[in-house]
Amino acid sequence: MIDPVTLAILKGRLEQIADEMDATLYRSAFNPIIAEARDACHGLYHATTGDTLVQGASGLPIFVGAMAFAVKAVIDKVAREGGLVEADVFLFNDPYEGGTHLNDFRLVRPVFRKGRVFCWIASVGHWLDIGGNVPGGYNPKATESFQEGVRIPPVKLMQAGRMNQDILDILAANSRVATSNWGDLNGQLNALDLGQRRFEALLDEYGNDVVAEAFVAFSDRAEALMRAALRELPDGIYSFDDVLDNDGIVDVMLPIALDLTIEGDGAVLDFSRSAGPAQGPVNISYSTTIAACYVALKHVFTAVPANAGCLRPIRFVVPDGSLLGARAPRPVAGYTETILRLIGVIFGALAKADPSRATAAPFGTINALSLSGARGDGSRWVMFSFFGGGLGGNPDSDGLSHANNPISTATIPPVEILEAAYPVLFTQWALRANSAGMGRHRGGLGAVYEIEALVDTRVSLLGERGKVAPFGVAGGGQAGLNRFSWTQQGETLSPPMVSKITDVSLAAGERLRLETPGGGGWGDPAERSAEAAARDKRLGYVA
């Protein structure tokens, strides 16, 4: 039995290794989605199951759950084909094997000890562009994966430490921004190198057996803590429904519905009442669904550690082939919107079970905005960014204004960095009045971003929450809707699919405007203190 002090030390040391890998990639990555927005993640994964063993504190939350599936895909491939040796590195972006979408490139590398795989080290990062119809990949009109970009199954990027140039050539030929991708790939390799060095030093210091034992203990502890948390909730079935605006192709709302059963120290998350497969790009694979559930639960039960053990007490019901259990080649580029809604319904159902743990709905859309064009010298540029909004009111406080989404810890690139890198001019970057749901604790505010094109610019947006606003809980009100508009030849226009549009052409001097939702409110607005209400008015949060 490993002693508790050693266990505590190993926990800190291992998490630090993952954090350092994150930091290495952030600092050496090329595209701002990784470097500034931290859309990346690193960790250590189980030798035979791929389960998450260790996860950094800084990695993108949604990847935490999804990476286990990605590593498992490599494990399965090796089991089929054999030939694994030290310093092999697998690369892939297949969303049906590892979750999320085509922009997320995974590198997976074995750690050998005594001639056997001891565990896996992996890195995932969001590359700027991997082909497809829309620069940046968020194609709201895609009906098949093939329109979203190039899909790479697990392949050996490095064989025994030797780079396979053929694969680099294929990657380079299939992106609008090959150099950026190459820079990010090198950043991920830097992170893997560092992780391998640090982890092997730790194994040398403590011994393989002690570390292996610690991995088991971490999972068991996570399971025990999750069970303890579930035990505190009253038994029952709690249902909560929400919708997506549409899939970008057919203008019909798509239900995301959860029946949550709490029974003793276990739970069932049943999504059977949710929509069937969508024509447009809001499908998610089963692994993405599980990863999203994990994110929601971690935000509510914050003390439960981030490893696979915490999912053991939970059973998932996700109909195969449905919106939440998509198979290839259903388009998945807009996966973020679906998982945000899915996380929301888990918050909503848990609020019914226990309002004192409740958080009202966060703003619920990433607003993936792609601007692109050609510079004066003919070189292509792609500015891809996503935007903030308000978090939900909660028992502790008002929601945070202009926050990132629960699926990420991404910070937004500064205006000055964007303006230095791309031919755009921001004319407004502000909090959005009246965008928060009212309540005893109101939601946080969303934002207004207004951009003037300095050259002819092609615009695509993939967003949500244009029809049904983020909900309040425990009597709180709903937030504002997402709004997107642009001016063209003096006329103000909005997308027919509300927050999804592709191929808008702006001439130099024309503007686009994005207004994002705040968070839902918590508690009866009549119970809001007079002082807080007066402050909201004075500061123009509520007009």
4-33 residues near other proteins, rule: CB under 8 A: 5, 8, 12-13, 16, 20, 24, 26-32
Select the residue interacting with other proteins from 112, 150, 174, 182 (CB under 8 A). 182
Closer residue to other proteins (CB): 90 or 522: 522
Under the criterion CB under 8 A, does residue 518 sit at the interface with other proteins? no
Q: Which residue, 353 or 400, has its beta carbon nearer to other proteins?
A: 400
Least CB distance to other proteins at residue 500 (A): 22
CA distances in angstroms from 238 to 104, 235, 269, 341, listed in the order given: 34, 9, 10, 17
417-446: which residues touch other proteins (CB under 8 A)? Answer: 417, 419-420, 425-431, 444
Q: Are strands 314-317 and 368-374 parallel, antiparallel or unpaired?
A: unpaired
What minimum distance in Å lies between the beta carbon of 9 and other proteins?
8
Span from 130-138, 144-152, 188-196, 229-237 in contact with other proteins (CB under 8 A): 188-196
Pick out residues in 277-316 that bind other proteins (CB under 8 A). Answer: 298-299, 302, 306
Q: How far is the CB of 446 from other proteins (least distance, A)?
A: 10
Query: How far is Cα 193 from Cα 163, in angstroms, rounded to an integer?
Result: 14
Tell me the residue type at 54: V
Question: Which residues in the 401-420 window bind other proteins by CB under 8 A?
Answer: 401-404, 406, 409-417, 419-420
Q: Is 372 helix (H, G, I), strand (E, B) or coil?
A: strand
Task: Say which DSSP state 209 is in.
Answer: H
For residues 95 and 362, which CB has a smaller minimum distance to other proteins in the complex?
Answer: 362
Burial of residue 5 (number of CB atoms within 10 Å: 0-12, 13-18, 19+): exposed
Q: Does 505 bind other proteins (CB under 8 A)?
A: no
CB-wise, 179 or 272, nearer to other proteins? 179
Does the footprint of other proteins cover residue 206 (CB under 8 A)?
no
Looking at the Cβ atoms of 96 and 218, the one nearer to other proteins is: 218
Q: Which residue lies nearer to other proteins by CB, 145 or 365?
A: 365
Residues between 330 and 349 with contacts to other proteins, criterion CB under 8 A: none
Minimum distance from residue 116 beta carbon to other proteins (Å): 26
> Are 364 and 470 spatial neighbours (Cβ–Cβ below 8 Å)?
yes
Nearer to other proteins, 334 or 392 (CB): 392
Indicate the residue among 289 and 405 with the shorter CB distance to other proteins: 405
Q: Considering the complex, what minimum distance in angstroms separates the CB of residue 343 from other proteins? A: 10
Residue 174 touches other proteins, criterion: CB under 8 A: no
Asked if residues 65 and 314 have their Cβ atoms less than 8 Å apart, the reply is: no
Q: Nearest approach, Cβ of 290 to other proteins (angstroms)? A: 17
The footprint of other proteins on residues 53-72 (CB under 8 A) is: 57-58, 61
List own/partner pairs for 232-238 with CB under 8 A and 24 or more apart.
232/354, 233/262, 233/350, 233/353, 233/354, 234/262, 234/353, 234/354, 235/262, 235/263, 235/264, 236/261, 236/262, 236/353, 237/261, 237/262, 238/262, 238/349, 238/350, 238/352, 238/353
Position 396 contacts other proteins (CB under 8 A)? yes
Is the CB of residue 477 less than 8 Å from the CB of residue 439?
A: yes
Residue list 96-115, contact with other proteins (CB under 8 A): none
What is the Cα–Cα distance from 488 to 493, expressed in whole angstroms? Answer: 7
Token output for 357 = 């743990």
How far is it, in rounded angstroms, from Cα 64 to Cα 296?
Answer: 12
Task: For residue 146, give both structure tokens.
Answer: 């093939």
Q: Which two tokens stand for residue 250?
A: 């057919």
Q: Is 364 in the site for other proteins (CB under 8 A)?
A: no
Nearer to other proteins (CB atom), residue 58 or residue 478:
58
Report residue 516 CA to chain centroid gap. Answer: 18
332 or 410: CB nearest other proteins? 410
Which range touches other proteins (CB under 8 A), out of 95-103, 183-191, 249-257, 497-505?
Answer: 183-191
* Total number of residues that touch other proteins (CB under 8 A): 77
Residue of 98, 99, 399, 439 that binds other proteins (CB under 8 A):
399
Q: Which amino acid is at 57?
A: A
**Beta bridge pairs of residue 448:** 430, 515
Q: Which is nearer to other proteins, 111 or 431 (CB)?
A: 431
Q: Which residue number, 467 or 513, has a Cβ lying nearer to other proteins?
A: 513
> Rule CB under 8 A: is residue 382 a binding residue for other proteins?
no
| Interatomic CA distance for residues 258 and 274, integer angstroms | 8
The count of residues in the chain is 543
- Which residue's CB is nearer to other proteins, number 276 or number 540? 540
Stretch that binds other proteins, among 248-256, 334-342, 367-375, 389-397 (CB under 8 A): 389-397
Query: Residue 452 or 456: which CB sits closer to other proteins?
Result: 452
Does residue 397 bind other proteins (CB under 8 A)?
A: yes
Instruction: Return the range that interacts with other proteins (CB under 8 A); candidates 230-238, 466-474, 497-505, 535-543.
Output: 535-543
CA angle, 467 then 340 then 235, to 5°: 110
Q: What phi and psi values does residue 24 have, to the nearest 5 degrees?
A: -60, -45
Half-sphere exposure of 199 (CA within 13 A, CB side): 32
What is the Cα–Cα distance from 125 to 104, expressed in whole angstroms?
5
Q: Does 377 bind other proteins (CB under 8 A)?
A: no
Instruction: Considering only residues 245 through 264, tell me which ones interact with other proteins, judged by CB under 8 A.
Output: none
Which tokens in the block code for residue 90? 């697998």
Select the residue interacting with other proteins from 133, 147, 164, 186 (CB under 8 A): 186
**Which residue from 255, 236, 259, 233 is spatially nearest to 244, judged by alpha carbons?**
255
Task: State the CB neighbour count (10 A cutoff) for residue 401.
Answer: 22
Residue 172 binds other proteins (CB under 8 A): no
